[in-house]
Amino acid sequence: MNLFEQFALGLQSLWFTLRECGRPRLWAPFLVPFVVQCAGIGLLALTAHPLLSWLLAPIVVRLAGPDALHYPGLFVHLPGLALTADLLVVSTLGALASGAATRLFASVFEGRSPSLREAWSETARRAWPLLVAQLPVTLLLVGIGFALDAFGQARVSSITRAMLPAVQMVLGTLVQALFAYVPALVMLGRLGPLLAWRRVPAMWGRGLLPALVIFVVALLVLLPMQLLARQSGAVVARGLPELTMALTALLFASSMVASWLVSGAATLVWMSALSGHVRETR
Amino acid sequence: MKASRVLVVLAAGVLAAGCGDEQLWQRWQAERSLEEARRAADRVLVQPTIARDADWDRADRLFAQVTERWPVSRWVSVPGKYGADIARVSGVAAVSRARLAALRGNDERTLLAWRAAVREVAPLPRLSAEAAQGELRLLERTGRFEEQLDVLRRLGEDIPLRDPAAGWLTDVLQAPLRWARELRARGRAEEGEPVLRRAVALVRAALEGERAPGPAPLLDALSEYAAARGDFTGSMAALRARLAGARDNDERRAVALTLATRALDLGQADSALACARWAESLGGRTVGRAQLRRAEAWEQLGQPDSALDAYSEVTDRPRDPENLASIARFQRGLLFERLGRWEAARAEWRTLQAMNPAGELSFLSMQKIVQHHLDRGEVELAQYEARRAIADLEQLLTMNADPNVQRQARLVRAEMLAGTGASRQAVEAFLDLWDRFPGDSVAEAAGLRAARMARFQPGLGVRADSLLERLATRAVSTEIRRAAAADRTPGR
């Protein structure tokens, strides 16, 4: 496949995935982490309550400083705190949800009726490989965040510092695109984590450009809410602190939409152009 | 088996939940309630003129709820990490409530609100000082100058010099000075001396617990107290200690400038000149003041030409946010008068009146012009200048509603009339001042002056007696009451 064909494949897989957006079952796996994320926002907003403060207050102070224990200071830090807590959700429930969604999308694209029960039971069987195989992506994303933070705190120009979020976004997108087919390799290719990682570079020849197209489109879905969530300080200053909870929930909702899109499109690319290649090289 | 495990985990969770900090939750709720009240107040303040009474009342009620639910007096003494924070939040609500009342525009209610705030936040030094300042501003604006003295006394005597969170409180340190100054303005300077003596003792006691040379606000206050008592040597000693602890050029230039002022007060013109030049060389916003001190030092040294040059440097400055040009012009006028250059002196003062008509120095310069002619027996010229000044004052009175300006302008107008022999009109002018500012000792002094003048006016004797009777029995100022009682006609 030449580059144009790969590009077209990425766009077409997105289009075919979008056409399936009316099927509630395809959304079901992602609702689980979303509900947990929303519950997390609620719990963070109640950090000061005696039922939670013994556990959450020290963590919140550690992550965001003593101001985060004050009203409305907590709401300025809420999106950041929620995103930090989300790393745990994404690396566990998120990984499992993407596995189940891959199975469901595969059924749909094969022309069969998707069975939620089957998808979940298969995900449960392959839970450990799924979790372990997707762990490097989370670790790499966290590592990039820490490295760029450390770089930003060093003596760099203000222009460089202003560009760091954009750099983080580009690097994050690239890393996710590199590992885009891991859920498909585990769930559809039935590979263990080690074998899946070994196959990942082999995917890049035909699959990296479609994956990049998919992730750039997903980023476009996510970006407006990410930019809005960064304005939590302004929202609080305008006297609407609790609105940052809704903003954070919307950010997670857009993240759910992006994950759904990526899962469906990556599954379709894998089924169209990569599954045979895996079988050949097995 | 599984169910029992779940129960154990739940029990552990409930036990752990008891470890949560109840005070943290109370602080959170207090802060949230305060924020809600602030939002309600902000909504009103966006368009205060069209806000409904219900909106004002709601904001007021929300602030009141914070102070009632978390009373400062209770939370300030509660042991724990967050008790003091909760007390502070409640105190902020009390002060905000008074501020809201001030913006609503009803002076009596505002005064009650400030007094309630003062009572409420009494255990919190910084907020106490803030509330007292609010009350002071209102009393000053409404011309209740006598009650101001009581607030200044409370500010200087009842509030600790240091707030645990905010540090040394400048308002509290300045209060004895303001109090003594107000007493002096009312002719009760001897009452100010014990005030300052007590303030010096308090500051010295506070300095004992500090590392030498001591915190800057304390040394500054000590220097000012000593200067206000006429102890310029003590004042300079405090300033030298302050200079030793100065951290940057901003502090150094401020201290150098004050040292120059004290040296002038002590008659050490050479030192004053050196200090003023040093302050100038350090640059910054105090250059204008340093130039003024230099001019004064040249005057003391008997070098009028150098002094005039220095004054010109002040008046020629392109930016003058502190209005130092008025001081320079007034002092240059005085210097011209001493040098016998009367036309130049009058021109300076006229320029000053045109540039800053409501300034205190403008009123003083009007009186200086009239007095100059009276001193030389030039009665007609004095009357001409007085008529001209009175016309200017009448115009000012119609255009400027500031109580301070109104009081000062009416006093000067009455003085002008009295000085130029228009005694009957002067009596009416002094009485008008007293009527407008009842309870103010300056206005009461004007009333006494009116009564004394009326006694020598044909047909006004009875009125004079009734005025003296009123002053002797009802004047707020003890001095005025005593003087009026002594002036009353025996047998009446």
Residue pLDDT, tens place only, B347-360: 999 999 999 889 88
- A249 in Cβ contact with A20 (< 8 Å): no
Residue B107 pLDDT > 60: yes
Query: How many other CB atoms are found less than 10 A from the CB of residue B492?
Result: 9
Q: How many helices (H) and strands (E) does chain A have?
A: 13, 0
Please name which of B431, B455, B426, B460 lies closest in space to residue B443, comparing C-alpha atoms. Answer: B431
Please name which of A80, A62, A95 lies closest in space to residue A226, comparing C-alpha atoms. Answer: A80
Cα distance from B162 to chain A (closest Cα, Å)? 24
Residue bearing the bigger pLDDT, B438 or B375: B375
- A243 interface with B at CB cutoff 8 Å: no
Helix, strand or coil, per DSSP, at residue B163: strand
Q: What is the DSSP string of A64-96?
A: H-GGGGSTTHHHHHHHHHHHHHHHHHIIIIIHH
Residue B490 pLDDT > 60: no
Q: Do A54 and B17 touch (CB under 8 A)?
A: yes
What's the pLDDT at B1? Answer: 47
Q: If you measure CA to CA, which chain A residue comes closest to B38?
A: A239
Cα distance from B268 to chain A (closest Cα, Å)? 52
How far apart (Å, rounded) are the C-alpha atoms in residues A163 and A178? 23
Cα distance from B30 to chain A (closest Cα, Å)? 9
Query: How many other CB atoms are found less than 10 A from the CB of residue B94?
Result: 26
Which residues in chain A have their CB less than 8 angstroms from residue B24's CB? 48, 50, 53, 57, 69
Structure tokens at B190: 């001897």
Q: Do A53 and B18 touch (CB under 8 A)?
A: no
**List of residues 6+ apart from B252 with CB closer than 8 A:** B243, B246, B282
- A69 interface with B at CB cutoff 8 Å: yes
Nearest beta carbon to residue A239 from set B17, B27, B39? B39
Please name which of A123, A115, A79, A94 lies closest in space to residue A235, comparing C-alpha atoms. Answer: A79
Report pTM. 0.70
Structure tokens at B415: 């003085």
Residue B74 pLDDT > 90: yes
Query: How many other CB atoms are found less than 10 A from the CB of residue B70?
Result: 23
For A28-44, what is the mean pLDDT?
95
For B23-28, what is the mean pLDDT?
94
How far apart (Å, rounded) are the C-alpha atoms in residues A86 and A229? 14
Which residues in chain A have their CB less than 8 angstroms from residue B17's CB? 50-52, 54
Structure tokens at A211: 């994956």
What's the pLDDT at B474? Answer: 77
pLDDT tens digits, B275-321: 999 988 888 888 899 999 999 999 999 999 999 999 999 999 888 88
Distances (CA, A) of A282 to A195, A278, B183: 9, 6, 100
pLDDT tens digits, A153-193: 887 788 888 888 889 999 999 999 999 999 999 999 999 99
Task: Give the distance from CA B98 to its chain's centroid.
Answer: 20
Residue B397 pLDDT > 60: yes
For A243-261, what is the mean pLDDT?
95
Q: Do B20 and A69 touch (CB under 8 A)?
A: no
pLDDT tens digits, B187-237: 788 888 888 999 999 999 998 888 878 888 999 899 889 888 888 888 888
**Distance between start and end Cα atoms, chain B:** 106
**Distance between start and end Cα atoms, chain A:** 21
Q: If you measure CA to CA, which chain A residue comes closest to B34?
A: A71
What's the pLDDT at B492? Answer: 46
ipTM > 0.95 for the complex = no
Q: If you measure CA to CA, which chain A residue comes closest to B14?
A: A51
Which residues in chain A have their CB less than 8 angstroms from residue B28's CB? 48-49, 69-71
A58 preceded by cis ω (within 30°)? no
Q: How many CA atoms lie within 13 A of A179 on its CB side?
A: 23
Which residues in chain A have their CB less than 8 angstroms from residue B10's CB? none
CA geometry: angle B176, B238, B247, nearest 5 deg? 105
- B81 interface with A at CB cutoff 8 Å: no
pLDDT tens digits, B83-105: 999 999 999 999 999 999 998 88
- B203 in Cβ contact with B170 (< 8 Å): no
Query: How many pairs of residues across A and B have Cβ atoms under 8 Å apart?
Result: 47
For A54-75, what is the mean pLDDT?
93
How far apart (Å, rounded) are the C-alpha atoms in residues A210 and A201? 14
What's the pLDDT at B164? Answer: 87
Lowest mean pLDDT among A210-214, B249-253, B485-489: B485-489
Give the percent of chain B with pLDDT over 70.
Answer: 95
pLDDT tens digits, B137-164: 888 777 677 788 889 888 888 899 999 8
- B18 interface with A at CB cutoff 8 Å: yes
Residue B46 pLDDT > 90: no
Residue bearing the bigger pLDDT, B67 or A2: B67
Residue bearing the bigger pLDDT, B216 or B459: B216
Give the H/E segment covering residue B65.
helix B53-69
Distances (CA, A) of A84 to A32, A73, A224, B302, B344: 18, 17, 19, 75, 76
- A51 interface with B at CB cutoff 8 Å: yes
What's the pLDDT at B286? Answer: 85
Confidence of residue B458 (pLDDT cuts 50, 70, 90): confident
Q: What is the DSSP string of B107-138?
A: HHHHHHHHHHHHHHTTT-HHHHHHHHHHHHHH
For A136-144, what is the mean pLDDT?
92
